[in-house]
Amino acid sequence: MANKKTTTITNAETNGGSINAAHLVRGQLYAAGGVIAKAADDTDTNVFRYFRVKSSDRITSLRISNAALTGATDVDLGFYQIASAGGAVVSKDKLADGLSLASARANPTEVLGTGTNGVAVADQAKRVWEWLGLTADPGIEYDVALTFNTGGTAAGAIGVFADIASGN
């Protein structure tokens, strides 16, 4: 029988836990998110920005709920620069790729890591800056946003909510 341990358990047993990062052990957990009403003319390439995260944060859960939005069959969740940094896309589908909103989700549904470009299981303990492939934490904020690749013409509410472990 194999007994395996995470790095945080190994550190706790050998070093008193003092070298474990806050985003993994006893870091502050906070919630973020909101609801945006999609209008019928909100369609392809539109971007809905929901909340901000620090580059040092780790998103532990990402949930979406939505009205049935006929034609909204390809949407992504990812990262954009904040407005004061230019607002450009950083990685539009890093959190979830290729979601369909055509069927209603009355209860929030976990979507973190879905699709081909989402966060892999092996990377889910990493921080935002690591997910983005950076070599060091830039100490900045990003907007978490939903991007419509195929937006359709239906109107209705879309909620995006997350649980986030602070990296500070």
Q: Give the model confidence (pLDDT) of 68-114 as tens digits.
A: 999 999 999 999 999 999 999 999 999 999 999 999 999 999 998 88
Q: What is the pLDDT of residue 56?
A: 94
Q: What is the pTM of this model?
A: 0.87
- 50-to-17, 26, 34, 158 alpha-carbon distances in Å: 34, 26, 6, 10
Rg (CA), the chain: 17
- Which has the closest alpha carbon to 154: 47, 64, 72? 72
Q: Which pLDDT belongs to residue 114?
A: 82
pLDDT band at 21 (very low <50, low <70, confident <90, very high): low
pLDDT in the model for residue 36: 96
- What's the pLDDT band for 119 if we cut at 50, 70, 90? confident
DSSP structure class, residue 28: P
Q: In angstroms, rounded to a whole number, what is the distance separating the alpha carbons of residues 7 and 152?
A: 45
What whole-number distance in Å separates Cα of residue 161 and Cα of residue 80? Answer: 16
pLDDT, residue 71, reads 94
